Amino acid sequence: MEENKDLNAPVKYTEENIRHLSDMEHVRTRPGMYIGRLGDGSQEEDGIYVLLKEIIDNSIDEFKMGAGKRIEVVVEDNLSVSVRDYGRGIPLGSLVDAVSMLNTGGKYDTKAFKKSVGLNGVGAKAVNALSSRFVARSFRDGKMREAVFEKGVLLSDTTQHSDEENGTFIFFEPDNTLFLNYRFRPEFVEEMLRNYTYLNTGLSIYYNGLRIVSRNGLEDLLNDKMTSQGLYPIVHLEGEDIEIAFTHSPQYGEEYYSFVNGQHTTQGGTHQSAFKEHIARTIKEFYGKNFEFQDIRNGLVAAIAINVIEPTFESQTKIKLGSLTMAPEKDSDGNPYPLSGVSVNKFVGDFVKENVDNYLHKHADIAEILLQKIQESEKERKAIAGVTKMARERAKKANLHNRKLRDCRIHLNDSKSSKKDEENDLRLESAIFITEGDSASGSITKSRDVNTQAVFSLRGKPLNSFGLTKKVVYENEEFNLLQAALNIEDGLDGLRYNKVIVATDADVDGMHIRLLMITFFLQFFPDLIKKGHVYILQTPLFRVRNRKKGVYETIYCYTEEERLAAIERLSPNPEITRFKGLGEISPDEFRNFIGKDMRLEQVTLRKTDAVNELLEFYMGKNTMERQNFIINNLVVEEDIVS
């Protein structure tokens, strides 16, 4: 009989345990260090978009150095990508090293790339390592060198004469053994490319033949992003290494878009914080009144872009600026930089103070509109001051002894979880499920990942908040506690979860609750939706299973079509279960639906959505008009059968 092994016995640690990984092996073993999460392309932060961004960043850097005004991007079958620029081209003798050897690249030379976003010599190499096929071609002065790789391993390297214009061509196909069932979503790709053109006026990007160009920079960005009419024309100001644009809208809250060296810093950073502080202070000093910053910024929609020499980001994915100064002391030749030692805060503050103040003095009509907006915000805030104070105290107490929120351990903006994680940035995985009823919240609570998934339980249907003022957020216990749980009373800077997931039953009541929650966010926190944080959880309607050789083969179906296909596959006589509500799904099964294969539908908000009109029709008081619409569009059972 075999002896029982001592599970607590120490594991041997010898020279055999010491391994050396090549550059490409290291990237493939620890992809999270280089691109954050992997994912399948269904979310904007998924790794395949980081791969695309890393390649395009290099082409953008060429444009910034005055080389090449055209970039061609082709995405074939949503699976593979080619990027062709017309810049200087990678020096032919260094092509292979530049795309396969970490810490190798031209960005270390500040004369060749003065204000580049790609500084670590990692980007293209990570794409190479994480692609099943990667092709790099450099065209320079009548010659073309081509290097072909498979999962980071060089397969061929050839050089020949060429009549093509100078520049670089990159083809990559993400490795589907890492990015399981991935697909590039055209809307995510197009938005990424448009952001590049806003920051680089004069650049043309062709996406599958579609020309994307911006002539007015950040002014175009705000015009494209805003979902409600600005109260005054967009103020657009430019200086050396800085550009800002802003206006106020009738909506609640604040909305910011920030960039560094062309990189969209979706989580802001020192430049965005500096802008928020100094725009409020400058406006306050202009009017000479003791306005609160929150009243000045209420309804503010703004964008800021700066260029920094050797910026420091908080991670390789470059979504939050950590630089405190504009430039290091000296360049690679030992010459001092003019902005050495100047903080980002001071640089942004000096520009905003001088230019915004001058603009308001020159445009008295806009200054008057802005003053009215601030006074209206102040009046409303003071009117609900008493309610607000009591609601905050109630929320604090509820956080200590509240069963409505079952929190997770890691949060989006938790400094205690700010250390880099080799496998993934777990903060981006943080999510809160908003669900209705004890049984549904209980099932999710027992099934969730306690590290990254929180649960907030609603009590019955939320209030229809359409047309109400923000006072209702503090008077209504559900809304007040939810706002406190998300930590968004003062804007998205403190948002505790990257994903806010509405998880309701797939029936009429569940749909109604979804609509009420989305109405709440649209009314009071539209930026939460605009920045892509709000999702709907998709759960299966049916379970179809059949016992074969003593084991159940189970298929979960999210639509009637999937149910019919499952019945055909598992015949004869499969067992069919119709899930009437989330509470009927056992915790063991629920793990399948909120794990790595979780199906989420992102709630989006764009200028063309006509939100005010939609909310007025579906959530307003036009009862008879809405009733007639429902009657005229009713689909009866006979129609379905026929």
As a whole number of angstroms, the distance between CA 149 and CA 136 comes to 9
Domains and CATH numbers, the chain: 23-212 (3.30.565.10), 218-383 (3.30.230.10), 385-539+602-609 (3.40.50.670)
- Distance from C-alpha of 508 to C-alpha of 630, rounded to nearest angstrom: 14
Q: What value does the mean pLDDT of the chain take?
A: 84
- Please provide the DSSP assignment of 536-598 as one string: EEE--SEEEEEEETTEEEEEEESSHHHHHHHHHHH-SS-EEEE--SGGGS-HHHHHHHSSTT-
Please write the tens of the pLDDT for every residue from 385-440: 888 888 888 777 766 556 688 999 998 877 554 445 443 467 888 999 999 877 78
Query: Strand, coil or helix: what is 245?
Result: strand
Burial profile 491-516: b = 16 or more Cβ within 10 angstroms, e = fewer? bbeebbbbbbbbbbbbeeebeebbbb
pLDDT tens digits, one per residue of 430-470: 999 999 877 788 889 999 999 999 999 988 888 888 888 88
Share of the chain above pLDDT 90, in %: 45
Question: Integer distance in angstroms from the first to the last C-alpha of the chain?
Answer: 68
pLDDT for 347 equals 92
The rounded distance, in Å, linking the Cα atoms of 536 and 534 is 7
For residue 6, pLDDT over 70 is answered with: no
Q: Which residues pair with 211 in a beta bridge?
A: 206
Share of the chain above pLDDT 70, in %: 87
State how far the Cα of 376 lies from the Cα of 82, in Å rounded to an integer: 51
Confidence at 15, pLDDT banded by 50, 70, 90? low
Q: How many CA atoms lie within 13 A of 336 on its CB side?
A: 5
Indicate whether this model's pTM tops 0.85: no
Q: Which long-range CB contacts under 8 A does 604-607 form with residues at least 24 apart?
A: 604/529, 604/532, 605/227, 605/522, 605/526, 605/529, 605/530, 606/227, 607/224, 607/225, 607/226, 607/227
Give the residue carrying structure tokens 């980001």. Answer: 313
Say what the alpha-carbon torsion angle 223, 229, 233, 234 is, to the nearest 10 degrees: -40
Q: How many residues does the chain have?
A: 642
- From residue 152, alpha-carbon distances to 11, 49, 208, 430 in Å are 33, 19, 27, 31
Q: Quick one: pLDDT at residue 29?
A: 76
* 184 phi and psi angles, rounded to 5 deg: -75, 130
Give the pLDDT score at 9.
59
What would the pLDDT profile of 63-117 be if each residue is shown by its tens digit?
A: 988 888 999 999 999 999 999 999 999 999 989 988 988 755 444 344 434 455 4
**Cα–Cα distance between 57 and 193 in angstroms, integer?**
11
What mean pLDDT is predicted for residues 277-291?
96
